[in-house]
Structure 1
Amino acid sequence: MAWAMGLLLLLLLPAVGASRPGTVVRLNKEVLSYVAEAGKAPLQQALQVTVPNFLDRSGEALQPTRIQILNVHMPHLHLKFIAGFGIHLLAAANFTFKIFRVPEPLRLMLPVKLLVDAPVDQGSIGTPVVSISDCFSFFDEAIVLDHNRTASKLLVPLQKHIQAVLQNKLCLRISNVVQDLNVHLGTLIGLSPVGPESQVRYSMINAPTITKDYISLDFNAVLFLLGRPIVLPEVNTSFVLPHPVGASAAMVTVGLSQDLFDSAILLLQKAGVLNMDVTGELESNDNMLNTSMLGQLIPEVAHQFPEPRPLVLKVRLGATPTVTLRTGNATLQLRPFVEVLAPASNSAFQSLFSLNVVVNLSLQLFVAEVRLRGTTSVLGNVQITVASSNVGLIDLEKVQTLVDTVFERPLLDHLNALLGMGIALPHVVSLHYISPEIFVYEGYIVVSSELLYQR
């Protein structure tokens, strides 16, 4: 049962709330039917308690009689949100018992109704915590499943014995399952890798918001580079996820604010992984990155290098890239400084010229393996201006061809490899997002998804 309620919280994706950066994870009421169905089997297993021997007083001497639960079948399990509180569970279960009487055993079925109220709150370590505030079990009359003439004499005392045991044990077993669940939810605050030297950690920042239609959880995401947190400038604003938003019938709605993207891009810049070197090859017929091809565009290059030599483009990101989220589209702007180098006679490299470049990219986002990933494509022309030159006057129209040919594709390949690794979303073991859809809004994105929990 607690597993069933806890599964509502297992889909915790990235989260923002009052602090930065963050994400809002909203579990909609559409998830309740799935959780109730998926939770039946583990709940039935949890309720297989041990029943002590029954002292049969029907004979001349007390006779200890062994009782065993053969099966717990749950034909009905219903969950609903309680506004401002948590989750209410109503379950109907049929307990089948075997009474090991001599000379013939007896089988009974005892219908039981379970009512459980479970508040959801913020834990001291920054994870969701489920507890049990009320738990009640109600019993109907036991049903004899065998034709046994002596059963009626034992039925009343036998049922009283079983009810007394179950009354104490069922809620205790449910409470134990909830404690196991909370240990499982504690894995949410662990560090998840972003890159070889970077991680992300999520933690709850306030108590959940609970309505009759959803439960909403606010998290703070902290990205670390070499153990040091990435800190954005202070802004006195918080992210509020509208309702409704995203796909109307999704089980989970995850809102990811602009801050999370700004923090991730800042991490990539500080890590230096956005920088790259593009090296030419003399033997390649389609590679223009050599002094021979460049000399056809800039005469001074041909004069300084009569023999063909490979060139190197040294791409460095000085300015922080900018992610812009507008309704229907996401863009990424890079302003790299590109230096064109050629090997000198002493094996050192000399700078031929350098360019200030502006690249606007379309950013496509998707979710795979509990990670938010992306790919890019160039929007319009790459804008270039000359920063410095050691080869005289440069015709930018001619150099534009070189940039389009030897710069764009390596840049896209490099960026897409980085963005394809993605950033881990808050998650616990065994949770999967099924058929996620991504919606881009002004200043945030939304992931709408179905869920699959597999042990």
Structure 2
Amino acid sequence: MGSGRHICPSSPVDAMDLPFGSYGTLKYQLADMPTVRDTFVEYDISADFELAEGGLISIPNDTVSISQPPIQNYSLCQSLHPAFLNMVMSVIGNIEPREFNCTPDAFSGAAGLKDAILALIPRGGSGINTTTVWYLNISLLEGPVIDFANKTAVGQLLVQIEVFIKNADGPPTSILSVRDSLKLTSMFSVMGHRLILTLSIDSHDLRLVSSSVGISEVASLLPHCNSLLGERILPLLSGPLGGGIPLPRPLRTPLDKAKVWIAEPNSSAMMQKMFKVCILSILFPLIVPSQGTNPGTVVRVNQEALEYVCQEGRPSLLRGLSIIKIPQFVDRGTIFQPLLNFVGINILKVELPHLSLKLIPKTGVQLSFSSQFHMRVNLLISPLELKLGSSIMLDIRVTRSPHGFPVLSITACKSLLGDIQIIVRGKNLFGLPKLIQDHIRAVLIDKMCLSVSNTVLGLNAKLGTLVGLNTINPMSQLQYAMLETPEITSDYIDVDLNAAFALMGKPIDVSSPAPAFSLPPQERVSNDPMVTMGISEHLFMNLFSTLGQSGAFNLNIGGQSSSGGFHLTRSMLESAMPSIAGRYPQDAVFGLNVVLSRHPIISLQEGRAVLRLSPAVQVVAASFGSSSQSQILCTLDVDLSLALKMEVKATSLQISVALEG
């Protein structure tokens, strides 16, 4: 990987060890001396992965080198080698086989998968008790690997799925074993100083390995395998990747104004990724603790917010539907065979005239939309324009992952298709023969659900970023995590969050349990915010306690090291302390040390928040040039009451203070 920057060539670049979750540490260092150009400096940076359990993974020495992208008007450009990304993927993809019950508790689509398998077993050929508990075992055989070519990034993964029954008095009975070769859509973005990689399932190649009950065809299991892998395997990859791969920052340059490229080796073409971060401002009203079960924080998302998210997701849905591939149609059984052979069926455009999300109490949400497909077919006699109306309904379940972030899974999908029309000059001319209609409908009715499901499941990678350390100041951090599955009503979703504080990376133990806390019932008003966050008094107490322990309230005023031009002189103190005139010369240095002596106390009332601090103020003195031998003249115990003003800016709650009274 290399990077260039408009900067003084004498500035140093230090080795950077950046932790990557529980997997280990990415170790960056200069591979060679920087190359100084006329307008920028170019660095070649090597990257190794030091595993948490021991060992080091490096990029092979014979890896094809990559070229540096043009810096143009950017302050920083980084070119990432595909081998670097696949090195990270090899660490994340080292997943042990997953074995679990084929029940709805372990996999939401278990019942549908079981019924689909039973339907494939020949009559009288199973001898399987349908009430017996089935088990699933999922193993990663190859990958994940991302291939970069022709300005695209495609992930590849080979998975084996085994369905079996455990016997108390013998070896397990294998029902079915299949291998699924998956292609994954890979999307990149930059957030902070991290590269975010979002994966979603693009296509499957499902093959039968073995079956002891006579199953010979497994094509009908494709949508069930898609849901299974999207729910149980994809989050294991998308979770850590969604949290971001930490990138090096030469001279600590922020990446928010940088260009990041993923280079194709041996090619002058680069796959360029332009990144934008869209921020939604939300309202955070302050709530006084009330009866409830939440330890400290509740986030409420109402129906209007879901509609907003739904409309924002419209381009992704359109993109997923428009890239569906429809194979050519060959008529093999009629006298019109030469006329009806389609050599190409292309989707020109997809429209979504209706798109909505509906809350399903205690379960999740239901996505529904209607669409219009505009297609062109290359018939041997003449090209034709086709139009097809359709609708789809997708049931989405919202649960909690073991790491404390929301997880979406698909529990049901139903698609309906209308008649295919031939359009001439904007008017419907006549319908297509039934054979051709059946061909197109059979492809779309299957792939529509698959495409929409992949788009929705792709959100899990972004939801995984909700769990992570957020920096409060250089010494302290805050981490949010879901406590349980969200509470879903017909009007809103309530997410109970736990807020854990850390000091220099070490968790702070909270001795007193959080009081019961919840948001009041939803009120329907015209200016009701889309997202409401209730913050308890207990959370604020822990926040200011953490700030106190980090030294955020400690100050040094005056003295030789004082900044801002403020100095304490002897004449300023003589009126209150006359004896200092005879003890210290005129040029003596005086200062104030402010040290917090007790934990801060905060009280929340209706429309009012007050912070009480009890600092000890020390008056110190030292002769000029001997500040290391300072003496404490006196100590004053002070009680301060500060009025807090809170304001949301971007995604942060900013607090300003003023002396009360």
Asked if these proteins are the same fold (TM beyond 0.5), I'd say yes
Contact 1:292 1:309 in 2 (8 A): no
Whole-angstrom distance in 2 between the partners of 1:370 and 1:196 = 19
Deviation at 1:280, TM superposition (A): 4.8
Seen in structure 2, the aligned counterparts of structure 1 residues 191 and 12 have a Cα distance that, compared at 3 Å, is farther
Segments of structure 2 that go 5 or more residues without pairing to the other structure are 1-199, 201-279
2-side partners of 1:90 and 1:18: how far apart?
33
1:159-238 superposed matches below 5 A: 159-235=437-513, 237-238=515-516
Question: What is the rounded CA distance, in whole Å, between the counterparts of 2:283 and 2:511 in structure 1?
Answer: 24
Cα shift at 1:95? 0.5
Is 1:123 aligned to 2:401, yes or no? yes
In structure 2, the CA distance between the partners of 1:27 and 1:98, relative to structure 1 (3 Å rule), is same
- The corresponding residue for 2:631 is 350
What secondary structure, in the 3-state scheme, does the structure 2 residue paired with 1:269 have? helix
Structure 2 counterpart of 1:24: 298
Alpha-carbon spacing, 1:340–1:95, altered in 2? closer, same or farther (3 Å): same
More helix by share: 1
Structure with greater contact order relative to length (CA < 8 Å, sep ≥ 6)? 1
Provide, for residues 116-143 of structure 1, a one-character-per-residue CA deviation record: whole Å limited to 9, x for no partner.
Answer: 1111111222111111111111111122
Q: What letter matches 1:267 in structure 2?
A: T
Deviation at 1:77, TM superposition (A): 0.7
Instruction: State the partner residue of 2:138.
Output: none
- Where does 1:373-388 land on structure 2 (aligned, <5 Å)? 373-380=654-661
1:182–1:283 CA distance, 2 compared to 1 (3 A) = closer
Cα gap change, 1:283 to 1:44, in 2 (>3 Å): closer
Where does structure 1 lack aligned partners over 5 or more consecutive residues? 3-9, 381-455
Letter in 2 for 1:257: S
1-side partners of 2:431 and 2:419: how far apart? Answer: 14
CA–CA separation in structure 1 for the residues paired with 2:538 and 2:524: 19
Higher alpha-carbon deviation: 211-220 or 196-205? 196-205
5 Å-filtered alignment, 1:30-429, equals 30-48=304-322, 49-57=324-332, 58-60=336-338, 63-146=341-424, 154-235=432-513, 237-244=515-522, 248-280=527-559, 289-344=568-623, 347=626, 348-380=629-661
3-state secondary structure, aligned to 1:47: helix
Q: 1:61 to 1:220 in 2, by over 3 A?
A: same
Q: Give the RMSD, CA atoms, in angstroms.
A: 3.1
User: Aligned to 1:178, what secondary structure does the other structure show?
Assistant: helix
Q: Distance in 2 between matches of 1:232 and 1:282?
A: 36
Contact 1:294–1:302, Cα closer than 8 Å, also in 2: no
Distance 1:155 1:147, change over 3 A: farther
- SS of the equivalent of 1:267 reads helix
The answer as to whether partners of 1:288 and 1:294 remain within 8 angstroms in 2 is no
2:351–2:372 contact (8 Å) kept in structure 1: yes
What TM-score results when the alignment is normalised by the length of structure 1?
Answer: 0.74
**Aligned partners of 2:589, 2:388: CA distance in 1, in Å?**
84
Aligned partners of 1:161 and 1:174: how far apart in 2? 20
1:310 CA displacement: 2.9
Shift of 1:59: 2.7
Cα deviation 1:186-213 (Å, max 9, x = unaligned) = 1111222122132221111011111111
| Counterpart code for 1:220 | N
CA contact (8 A) 2:307 2:356 kept: yes
Length-normalised TM-score, structure 2 = 0.52
* The 10-residue stretch of structure 1 (360-369 or 232-241) with the greater mean CA deviation from structure 2: 232-241
Deviation at 1:263, TM superposition (A): 1.4
Give the counterpart letter for 2:443 in structure 1. V
How far apart, in 1, do the equivalents of 2:554 and 2:612 lie? 14
The one-letter amino acid of 1:83's match is: P
3-state SS, counterpart of residue 52 of structure 1 = coil
Contact 1:11 1:252 in 2 (8 A): no
- Aligned residues of 1:282 and 1:290 also touching (Cα < 8 A): no
Output the CA distance in 1 between the equivalents of 2:625 and 2:441. 93
Structure 1 residue 18, shift from structure 2 partner: 4.2
Aligned residues: 370
The separation in 1 between residues aligned to 2:367 and 2:575, in whole angstroms, is 77
Q: Distance in 2 between matches of 1:246 and 1:205?
A: 27
1:345 shift after superposition:
7.4
Is 1:230–1:263's contact at 8 Å kept on the other side of the alignment?
no
